[in-house]
Amino acid sequence: MRRSSVISRRVAAAAVSLVLASGAAACAGPEGTGAADGTPGKDSGAPRKGGTLTVLNSEPQTDFDPARLYTSGGGNVPSLVFRTLTTRNREEGAAGTEVVPDLATDTGRPNKDATEWTFTLKEGLKFEDGTPITSADIKHGVERSFAAELSGGAPYLRDWLIGGDTYQGPYKDKKGLASVATPDARTIVFKLRKPEGEFPFVATQTQFAPVPKAKDTGAKYEEHPLSSGPYKVVRNENDGERLVLERNTHWDPKTDEERKAYPDRIDVRSGLDEAVINQRLATSTGADSAAVTTDTNLGPAELAQVGSDKALAARVGTGHFGYTNYLAFNPKVKPFDNPKVRQAISYAINRTSVVNAAGGSALAEAATTFLPERESFGYTPYDHFPAGKTGDPEKAKALLKEAGYPSGLTITLLHSTAQNRATSPEIATAVQEALGKAGIKVELDGQEPNSFNEKRWSVKDAPGFFLSRWGADWPAGGPFLAPIFDGRQIVTNGSNYNHAQLNDPAVNQEIDEINKLTDLKAAAVRWGALDKKIGAQALDVPLFHPVYKRLVGKSVKNVVISDWTGVLDVSQVAVK
């Protein structure tokens, strides 16, 4: 996902979420002023319209063009301006992982084999200038995302749409993309190269936002994109360093059941130091009392300080997102071609020390499965190499002996020098110490982030053993397992995420069969079973799932988050 961390070709690294630490319902806000079911409370603290919400972020909201943004599901700043065919259900927790209609009347109607999806637009939809939104605007929005000068958005349509792999966008190809049809002003049809039962999830991405051809200014469109949501852009300074949004008077809430749009104004300030953001939220004076962040977490030291202040602790939340940090093997490199060596390392890992290196149990949860512990992903509990909380070095030594290494062995672990609590030196050192107890000497190879990523994403130059991580663009098993284990997605001349270079026909076929399913619950069960099957091969060692802690200003109300994007939903927030 194109965010502040790793940019992936198919699946994103994730942002973070916020749930109230005090135990109150997440949608009630830090002061518990809303009803437990997510509706506004009846007391004087109930969410009301008006005021200015300030967003304090470290990363600028750059490239504010729906074609160039890499964002899905809604709940973040772009979703205030760009509506899409579908969006996520704006509820807390697991309920928020459901896909629901946005501009469309439903979540799409598939043909028998899910190779064709039809959507009908709601009536009464308008842009910020009062002109109607039509299916032709959706089609143009999709087509312009193929233009080279507007690169950066999600890649799924290039892979999925018939002709998408060669289409160059509407500025070069005036005929348009034949696989996107608009039989009338309210109907749009997408024709796919293969079955995709999760297409409604992809339709949440900003490439599905309407863009009128007559107002399309190409690369300059980001300077004044035409809003289809509750807010319009009135100021964009230094390519998203400061973004000011005000109400779109032509947005009709009757057509939008998901966005509450309480504040009159949204002031996004970016490029700030993370420590400064947390200090301003903690102090919560002036405009900062009505402020939130969508990209900055509390660290261990800050959490220790917060823990001694009950009032401040009440404004700290705990959130989760579908994200896994793991040890990756390249079985093409010795000795990792030997399954018993990989199994030995799996048994030797001390997940307690790894979790401590990631900031402690407040910021990381030990993992033994590749899929995150969320029902929507298809999570199926398993631990093929049970080593307890602190590892089983004796079992690891026995396996090494069987593998032909009775005296142990020496290996190298590639990691990043960045302090990101995922692929950092601290995590690498914890792995080194644990494996050392099993007779495995680990030499650390720390590389600066760009070099680290180039090596781990390379088929040609990937080492045999390295730290890695993965997060999904939507809450399902497909965007988690397919990029990592589908052999047809091995990329030999670009960024390759199938680190194990697994190309198992049975696994590939099962991925295809699951993709045919439009019953997402049935698909989730199959994804979980596939995860368990692949896990038995010890092609990776799941280490932990991150936990995120965030502050909100003392005047912020109606905080809603979900297990989808993990981003605090700015469309629901109200201020005093």
DSSP string, 496-541: ---TT----HHHHHHHHHHHT---HHHHHHHHHHHHHHHHTT-SEE
Quick one: average pLDDT of 310-334?
Answer: 90
Per-residue pLDDT tens digits for 494-512: 889 999 999 999 999 999 9
Report d(CA 134, CA 188) in Å as an integer: 9
Report d(CA 377, CA 360) in Å as an integer: 25
Candidates 227, 224, 219, 213; CA nearest to 78 is 227
Percent of the chain with pLDDT over 70: 91
Are 540 and 370 within 8 A, CB to CB? yes
**According to the model, what pLDDT value does residue 24 have?**
27
Report d(CA 544, CA 542) in Å as an integer: 6
- Arch. (CATH architecture) of 26-267+552-575: 3-Layer(aba) Sandwich (3.40)
Task: Check if 26-267+552-575 and 323-546 are the same fold.
Answer: no
Percent of the chain with pLDDT over 90: 76
**Pair of tokens at residue 483:** 């990029």
**According to the model, what pLDDT value does residue 73 have?**
58
Q: How far is CA 221 from the centre of its chain?
A: 25
Q: Quick one: which H or E segment has residue 283?
A: helix 274-283
Indicate the pLDDT class of residue 316, thresholds 50, 70 and 90: confident
Mean residue pLDDT across the chain: 89
Instruction: State the sign of the Cα–Cα–Cα–Cα dihedral 159, 164, 166, 170.
Output: negative
Distances (CA, A) of 17 to 12, 222, 243: 15, 27, 22
Please state the length of the chain: 576
Are 448 and 417 within 8 A, CB to CB? yes
**According to the model, what pLDDT value does residue 297 have?**
87
Q: Quick one: which H or E segment has residue 268?
A: strand 265-269
SS (H, E, C) 349-375: CCHHHHHHHCCCCCCEEECCCCCCCCH
Least confident of 39-43, 250-254, 329-333, 401-405: 39-43
Phi, psi of 319 (to 5 degrees): -140, 160
CATH of range 323-546; options 3.40.50.11740, 3.10.105.10, 3.40.50.300, 3.90.1280.20: 3.10.105.10
Contacts of residues 377-381 at CB distance under 8 Å and 24 or more positions apart, as own/partner, are 377/322, 377/472, 377/475, 377/476, 377/477, 377/480, 377/524, 377/527, 377/528, 378/476, 378/477, 378/523, 378/524, 378/525, 378/526, 378/527, 378/528, 378/529, 378/531, 379/528, 380/528, 380/529, 380/531, 380/532
User: Which ranges constitute the DSSP H helices of 358-460?
Assistant: 393-402, 425-436, 449-456
**According to the model, what pLDDT value does residue 8 have?**
34
Report d(CA 294, CA 240) in Å as an integer: 14
Quick one: average pLDDT of 199-209?
Answer: 96
In the chain, where the domains are located: 26-267+552-575, 323-546
Candidates 237, 217, 215, 241; CA nearest to 149 is 217
Candidates 19, 29, 69; CA nearest to 243 is 69
Report d(CA 35, CA 28) in Å as an integer: 6
Candidates 557, 569, 538; CA nearest to 399 is 538
Report d(CA 39, CA 29) in Å as an integer: 11
Neighbours of 357 (CB within 10 A): 22
The pTM of the full predicted model, rounded to 2 decimals, is: 0.86
SS3 287: helix
Are 50 and 262 within 8 A, CB to CB? yes
More confident residue, 21 or 551: 551
Are 96 and 274 within 8 A, CB to CB? no
Per-residue pLDDT tens digits for 508-546: 999 999 999 999 999 999 999 999 999 999 999 999 998
Indicate the pLDDT class of residue 422, thresholds 50, 70 and 90: confident
The answer to whether residue 41 scores a pLDDT higher than 60 is no
Neighbours of 310 (CB within 10 A): 9
